[in-house]
Amino acid sequence: MSIHEHPSITHCTHVRVRYADTDKMKIVYNGAYLIYFEVGRTELLRACGLPYRELEQAGYLLPVLEAFIRYKTPAVYDDVLDIYATYVLQRSATVRIEYCIKRGEIEIVDGYTLHAFVSAEAMKPVRPPSLFFDAMEKACVLRSQMAGSGDGDVCSKVGGY
């Protein structure tokens, strides 16, 4: 089964570019996109019924193992950006989140982050907890049902927008 045959869930989060996110030219600093990826990832988990705080309280952390960003066109101060974070449901040792950041219909960047679960106490890799897969599977089913009914806005607003 290819990755495209697995169920997936996408969540969109809106952010407004802050002055602090820009460089001297008022263009979004390249490293700020990793922060936007984190916002997208955090809000995706929250929308799936599993806020990152609950993972931490259950004794798990989800550090980044790898990150990739492809820059397409710059974003500037005061732009409203849509951060699309997508998780393709796969029961594997790592978790890959895909991102696409847009300003309207214009694609600004795309990329991904790759994560592994670690024990918060021992700081050693562990198998992904069932609470993660249970939440993601349930969210995929719910989103699929909502998409079929025409309901279900998957966007949230963050950062004063």
Q: Which is the catalytic residue, given 23, 79, 110, 153?
A: 23
Q: How many CA atoms lie within 13 A of 62 on its CB side?
A: 24
Answer whether 0.85 is exceeded by the pTM: yes
Distance separating alpha carbons of residues 66 and 60, to the nearest angstrom: 18
The pLDDT assigned to 156 comes to 53
- Confidence bin at 148 (pLDDT 50/70/90): low
34 versus 137: the higher-pLDDT residue is 34
The pLDDT assigned to 4 comes to 52
pLDDT digits (tens, 9 = 90+) for 65-101: 999 999 999 999 999 999 999 999 888 889 999 999 9
21 among known catalytic residues: no
Q: Which domains does the chain have, with CATH numbers?
A: 3-157 (3.10.129.10)
